[in-house]
Chain A
């Protein structure tokens, strides 16, 4: 069950900045639970992109950044590149459901 809502798709030209929103509630993002982000290419497993709201694992380019405010979070990609075309998922913990929850997913298209 996806209790975190993301836009189905976003697009941008190479070099542009795009943002992906992740809207939750007081039971998850708003309950002081951190947000993580994953990138998934077709036919492959998701890969950790951002953890703890705004931290990048080693090897993730600094054009990816995360932020959080209230019951929502955002992933920004600055200087969009063709290789960034993928699906992106946010993830947090839902206290009401007592489990980890993912966003509905957003497909990023590079025009």
Chain B
């Protein structure tokens, strides 16, 4: 079955760049059916959608992170990645890579059906 696995540094210094990669295994990232997303959860807090990418490169970002965020895809490696610049302590969170599954044509109706285990990223001062 399809699995998602996050990887990347668990510690990033403030003002530097947070980079994470999600590897999709057991299925194709280019299936065309799904979008691939990042979601984060601050310690002891709720969930925050970061953004998504389609295998063809189309992206949609959370407006609150636009300007600092880049999500990219490497179909040859079945991976998609997150890059967040100028991080602060407020970016400390567990980061999940998640599959966005269709429910009709309009993406606003879609839901997050498959989650990676998550990786904790701590921003140090």
Contacts and interface: CB of A to CB of B under 8 A. Distances in A.
A103 to B, nearest CB: 7
Contact of B117 (A34, A45, A91, A100): A45
Nearest to B6: A45
A33 B116 contact: no
B63 interface: yes
Contact of B112 (A34, A48, A95): A48
B111 A1 contact: no
Contacts of A102: 46-49
A52 B111 contact: yes
Contact of B48 (A1, A36, A48): A1
A99 B115 CA distance: 18
A104 B46 contact: yes
Interface string A88-100: 0101010101111
Contacts of A97: 63
A44 B117 CA distance: 7
Interface string A68-102: 00000000000000000000010101010111111
Given A47-B115, A99-B62, 18 more contacts: A2-B46, A34-B103, A36-B112, A45-B96, A45-B116, A48-B113, A51-B103, A52-B103, A52-B111, A91-B47, A91-B111, A91-B112, A98-B60, A98-B63, A99-B49, A99-B63, A100-B112, A102-B48
